[in-house]
Every structure is written in C-alpha cells, then in structure tokens.
C-alpha cells in the first residue's frame, strides 16, 4: 500500500534526515523516492526550482506534478507540524519557539556549510565519481571550521539532554541530522572537549525517529566507506 506522503531525495542528505526524523516522531508513514543530486531530472526541477533535495509530496493533495509538493526541509517540517500537531516538535512558548528556529537555522546553515561542503562533499562526491577523496580539505574543515561551531552548541547544551526544555524539538533533530553527516565518515568530535554535544548526538542517533534513515545511510555507505576516516590533527 502506498503512503500519503512521499519524500523525494536521498537518505544521505542531512535535510532529508531531519524531515524523516520529524515524520517518524509524529508516527507518519512515508515512501521515499531517490533523486540524484548530481544529475537532477527535469520532473524534479519543476518541483524544486532551486534544485535542492528534499521535497515532499502529499498525495492527499495531488498525485503528480508540482501540485501537492513542498520543497525545503524547514518548510516541510512546518507543514508536517500543522498536518500532524502531536507530538509537537516546535515549543509552545513563544521565546522557546524562536530559539528552536534559530538552532534549526544554525544547523542548516552553519553546520551544513562546514560539515556538508567541507567534509562530506570532498569525500563522498569524489568517491561517487571514482576519484580519490579530498582528505586535505576534510581535515582542514574538521580541525579549523567545525570546532567553533561545536563550541557554541556545547555551551548551549551545558550538560542538558535537550537544547530546549526536556523533550525533542526541531532544534535537537536539526543539529543531530547535521552532526550525523560528519559522524558517518569521520566519527564524533572529541568527547573530552565536547561532552554534552557528543552525549546529545549519541542519544539522538539511537532514538527510534532516526532508525529508518540510519539504515538507509548504512546501506549506501557499507561498500563506499568501509572504515571511518581519521581527520584529527
Ligand atoms: N535549505 C534547504 C537545503 C537543501 C540542500 O542544500 N540540499 C542539498 C543536498 S544535502 C542539495 O540538494 N544540493 C544540491 C546542489 O547543491 O546542487 C533545505 O533545508 O532543504
């Protein structure tokens, strides 16, 4: 039986990971359809004019074409929250809501630019093209660009299990979705320097809401990256 919701993208996208976690947390069933980011088909460009994954289709709205679709992980998660309000992933308190949106943005831009463009792409995109992984760029990013980003999150958490309140919000999901992007290739930041962040990520990665995406990534990476890279200085 087909699900009402279809996610177009790839499990390896941290933005798809974020959306999958929100859908899983809300108990929403969904189908996945892969879209190749290195050669996007025209039918997909019509849905995502900026040429990005993921996009969501709600088959209850429309079965084909651009109708019934929403692109951009933040827009999709905002839609899902209205479509299936419980459990909520956005805090009810106005100020906390704003803070959650900020951390989502911090993850989607700060962590994504450094970890995605500076570690994930130089390794994986090269491997997909049967080239040597660009370890020098990845190592420089890991040692110079990522530590200040992790520092901010470590201070924000300050020993707590969640970024805001005591249940999972879009902030926890967005940060973990991006940390996963580097963890799958190079492991975790040093636990002695970033203990709260590492504990937070380990708990989030083990949570039910990430399991389907974890399995999807493992399937793709099993042959491509049999061992993690050591990017430490
Ligand atoms: N703001 C977008 C960002 C999505 C994004 O950058 N996706 C990447 C893959 S992880 C992509 O589609 N890149 C294609 C490209 O840059 O050509 C979101 O939240 O969904």
pLDDT at residue 45 tops 80: yes
Q: Count up the domains in the chain and report the number.
A: 2
89 within a domain of the structure (yes/no): no
For a substitution probing ligand 1, which of 52, 78, 105, 114 has the most ligand atoms within 8 Å of its CB? 52
What confidence tens digit (pLDDT) does each residue in 133-172 have? 999 999 999 999 999 999 999 999 999 999 999 999 999 9
pLDDT at 171: 98
Q: Which residue is closest in CA terms to ligand 1's atom 2?
A: 72
> What Å distances lie between residue 102 and 10, 114, 174, 204, CA to CA?
25, 17, 11, 19
Domain co-membership, 74 together with 12: yes
Give me the mean pLDDT over the 186-202 stretch: 98
- Distance (Å, rounded) from C-alpha 136 to C-alpha 168? 36
189 within a domain of the structure (yes/no): yes
- Distance (Å, rounded) from C-alpha 142 to C-alpha 165? 30
Last residue of a domain, which of 63, 83, 103? 83
- Distance (Å, rounded) from C-alpha 97 to C-alpha 89? 10
Tell me the residue range of the domain where 153 lies.
Answer: 94-224
Dihedral sign, Cα of residue 187, residue 189, residue 195, residue 200: negative
- Cβ atoms of residues 33 and 230 within 8 Å: no
Domain co-membership, 79 together with 111: no
- Distance (Å, rounded) from C-alpha 55 to C-alpha 125? 21
CATH for 57: 3.40.30.10
Whether residue 72 has its Cβ less than 6 Å from ligand 1: yes
Whether residue 121 has its Cβ less than 6 Å from ligand 1: no
Output the CA angle 129-135-136, nearest 5 degrees: 125
Domain co-membership, 58 together with 98: no
Cis peptide before 54 (omega within 30 of 0): yes
Give me the mean pLDDT over the 203-226 stretch: 96
For a substitution probing ligand 1, which of 8, 10, 14, 15 has the most ligand atoms within 8 Å of its CB? 15
Domain co-membership, 103 together with 70: no
Half-sphere exposure for 141 (CA within 13 Å, toward CB): 21
- Across 150-162, b (16+ Cβ under 10 Å) vs e yields beebbebbeeeee
pLDDT at 151: 98
34 within a domain of the structure (yes/no): yes
Cβ contacts of residue 155 below 8 Å, gap of 6+? none
233 within a domain of the structure (yes/no): no
pLDDT category, 180, cuts 50, 70, 90? Answer: very high
* Torsion from C-alpha of 168, 170, 175, 181, nearest 10 degrees: 100
């Amino acid at each position: 039986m087909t699900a009402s919701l279809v996610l177009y993208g790839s499990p390896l996208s941290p933005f798809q990971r974020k959306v999958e976690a929100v859908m899983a947390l809300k108990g929403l069933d969904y189908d996945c359809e892969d879209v190749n980011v290195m050669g996007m088909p025209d039918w997909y460009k019509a849905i995502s004019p900026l040429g990005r994954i993921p996009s969501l289709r709600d088959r209850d709205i429309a079965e084909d074409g651009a109708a019934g679709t929403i692109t951009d992980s933040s827009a999709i998660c905002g839609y899902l929250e209205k479509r299936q309000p419980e459990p909520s992933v956005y805090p009810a308190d106005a100020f906390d809501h704003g803070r959650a949106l900020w951390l989502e943005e911090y993850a989607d831009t700060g962590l994504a630019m450094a970890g995605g463009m500076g570690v994930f792409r130089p390794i994986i995109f090269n491997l997909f093209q049967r080239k040597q992984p660009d370890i020098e760029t990845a190592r420089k990013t890991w040692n110079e660009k990522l530590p200040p980003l992790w520092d901010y999150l470590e201070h924000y958490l300050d020993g707590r299990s969640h970024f805001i309140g005591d249940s999972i919000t879009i902030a926890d999901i967005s940060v973990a979705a991006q940390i996963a992007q580097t963890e799958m290739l190079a492991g975790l930041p040093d636990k002695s320097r970033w203990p709260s962040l590492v504990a937070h990520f380990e708990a989030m990665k083990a949570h039910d809401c990430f399991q389907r995406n974890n399995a999807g990534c493992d399937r793709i990476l099993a042959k491509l990256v049999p061992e993690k890279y050591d990017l430490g200085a």
